[in-house]
Structure 1
Amino acid sequence: MNLKFSITSKGNAKSNTLMHKIRTYLQDFGLEYDEAKPDIVISVGGDGTLLYAFHRYSSRLDKTAFVGVHTGHLGFYADWVPEEIEKLVIAIAKTPYQVVEYPLLEVIIRYQHGGKETRYLALNESTVKCVEGTLVMDIDVRGQHFERFRGDGLCLSTPSGSTAYNKALGGAIIHPSIKAIQLAEMASINNKVFRTIGSPLIFPGHHTCTLRPVREQDFMITIDHLTLLHKDVKSIQFRVADEKVRFARFRPFPFWKRVHDSFISD
């Protein structure tokens, strides 16, 4: 079977030059460029570029694998550097790749007055904030009331996204082989009257976490890099998605080494 590929670029000069070079090399090897139905998607840029590529091809996650080339800082999803382009091209053209699967976050937003629910998939995280004022949400875990949250907002992250915004909020870093999602608080209000758990919560794959607005408000809900305004929200349900993201690995890319290289080493 002839491998089909597409390339997503960050759009700056360096990334576009590399994109054209990779495309030419792969076509010289007889691979077919197919933006509609690629077997492999090459992201050239940074983690943001790969997030964009993921959402572009989210309807065919079971058929498409991603590989990242970073043209700036070390990426969590992008493990190849521009100097290795020839090596990567030969690997794609000549060697079978290993597929590594990571969990995704499913977000289902339901509305008052029986409006049609919307469903999203996040590779990194989803956040919920009020358009103005304090966020007040009842949090249900597996259909049971857990707490009433008051604060700036809430962040639900995937294991691979646990190193992003979640980490900045004091959340735990979770290895992507663990099928889980994590809830982290943004500046919760805790005093004699109001109390929240105050710690990040990690939910296994078979648990749901549902947010229910206490008062009618408009919410800013992010799905990775996308920011969406939602009105008349009845509930927001989070769980580990049935779908997974697939990465094409042509060499080892250990998660803890990425954590070390991103946050600890010079």
Structure 2
Amino acid sequence: MKYTILNRGDRLSQELTETFHRLAAEGGMTMDQHVPDIVISIGGDGTMLHAFHSHIHLLDKVSFVGVHTGHLGFYADWKATEIAELVKRMTTPDVEMKIVKYPIAEIEIVTKKAGKEVFYALNEFTIRGDDGKTLVAKINVNLEDFEMFRGDGICISTPSGSTAYNKSLQGALLHPSIEALQIAEIASINNRVYRTLGSSMILPKHHICDIFPREDQKLQLSVDHMNIQRDDILSIRSQVSELKVSFARYRPFPFWNRVRAAFIGNEPME
């Protein structure tokens, strides 16, 4: 098995990386930064996002495993104290590895200067007015006019990303087995003159959402951890991608258990 590691860069993550390399070599694994079978993320969810985007050209070939070294690692199955157990399971032939696939978002941006650009998001894509200015944009769903949006911005999240920024916008939590995108408004303006839906909406696979910002607006875009500033955007199309991200599971860790551990805690119920 070939693997590579991305870590957060702090002391603990560096030490765990060195330990993993040593144990993996003893177990017969091979380090390969170019064409790995498994990508190990050691750090937090931000580290996993970085790992995802660093290997997006290999999504059909690689699987990801997360080890969290902080307080919260939603994409991580393993704690810092479990590195030896993880390597043992990865190098033991009779340990079953299950591949779990999550849907991701495909974002197609058309601009005056650069033409068409395509991005992929594991968590979410957001569009805001730059410098705190109101975003004004027409929203179409499946090529039909839906609403004229005015407000701080729009967040389009994947099911796995529904637990991130989307949750703080009062969006629903979606199980990653549901191939869909969720569109949540960020501080929309609603009064006698301007009206929006005012709640999040869920689009299934093969449905599309088109955003047409007012011409020459300065916009702040984000694709997971990446920020982009543009003033020449003509349109943005979002849909569930045909690509999926794969996670290697060496032990069960159901999605709703992750949600409970992340947001509620593991205290026993009375």
What TM-score do you get using the length of structure 1 for normalisation?
0.97
Percent of residue pairs identical: 48
SS of the aligned residue for 1:176 comes to coil
1:96 Cα shift?
A: 4.2
1:51 equivalenced with 2:49 (yes/no):
yes
SS of the aligned residue for 1:59 comes to helix
Code of the aligned partner of 2:45:
D
Code of the aligned partner of 1:43:
S
Q: Deviations over 1:145-182 (max 9, x none)?
A: 10000000000000000000000011000000000000
SS of the aligned residue for 1:26 comes to helix
Code of the aligned partner of 2:124:
E
Code of the aligned partner of 2:121:
A
Q: Deviations over 1:121-155 (max 9, x none)?
A: 00000000111310001000000010000000000
1:82 Cα shift?
A: 1.6
Is contact 1:129–1:220 with CA below 8 Å preserved after alignment? yes
Is contact 1:67–1:248 with CA below 8 Å preserved after alignment? yes
Is contact 1:5–1:32 with CA below 8 Å preserved after alignment? yes
Q: Show the 5 A alignment for 1:96-175.
A: 96-112=96-112, 115-132=114-131, 133-175=133-175
Mean CA deviation greater in 5-14 or 88-97: 88-97
SS of the aligned residue for 1:239 comes to strand
Structure-2 residue corresponding to 1:201: 201
What TM-score do you get using the length of structure 2 for normalisation?
0.95
1:18 to 16, 19, 23: 16
1:67 to 65, 71, 91: 65
Aligned structure 1 segments of 4 or more residues deviating by more than 4 angstroms:
none
Q: Tell me how far apart the structure 2 counterparts of residues 38 and 60 of structure 1 sit (CA, whole Å).
A: 9
Is contact 1:126–1:155 with CA below 8 Å preserved after alignment? yes
Q: Tell me how far apart the structure 2 counterparts of residues 218 and 64 of structure 1 sit (CA, whole Å).
A: 37
Q: Tell me how far apart the structure 2 counterparts of residues 112 and 7 of structure 1 sit (CA, whole Å).
A: 38
Segments of 5+ residues of structure 2 without an aligned counterpart are none
Is contact 1:106–1:241 with CA below 8 Å preserved after alignment? yes
1:214 Cα shift?
A: 2.3
1:116 Cα shift?
A: 2.3
Q: Show the 5 A alignment for 1:181-220.
A: 181-220=181-220
How many residue pairs match? The answer is 263
SS of the aligned residue for 1:195 comes to coil
Structure-1 residue corresponding to 2:180: 180
Is contact 1:136–1:215 with CA below 8 Å preserved after alignment? no
Q: Tell me how far apart the structure 2 counterparts of residues 190 and 130 of structure 1 sit (CA, whole Å).
A: 17
Mean CA deviation greater in 225-234 or 60-69: 225-234
Is contact 1:129–1:152 with CA below 8 Å preserved after alignment? yes
Segments of 5+ residues of structure 1 without an aligned counterpart are none
Q: Tell me how far apart the structure 2 counterparts of residues 74 and 216 of structure 1 sit (CA, whole Å).
A: 39
Q: Deviations over 1:178-197 (max 9, x none)?
A: 00000000000000000000
SS of the aligned residue for 2:33 comes to coil
Is contact 1:135–1:153 with CA below 8 Å preserved after alignment? yes
Structure-2 residue corresponding to 1:82: 80
Q: Deviations over 1:18-69 (max 9, x none)?
A: 0010011101112110011110001001111000000000000010000000
RMSD: 1.0
SS of the aligned residue for 2:162 comes to helix
Structure-2 residue corresponding to 1:243: 243
Is contact 1:107–1:120 with CA below 8 Å preserved after alignment? yes
Code of the aligned partner of 1:179:
E
SS of the aligned residue for 1:192 comes to coil
SS of the aligned residue for 1:74 comes to coil
1:7 Cα shift?
A: 0.6
Q: Tell me how far apart the structure 1 counterparts of residues 230 and 87 of structure 2 sit (CA, whole Å).
A: 43
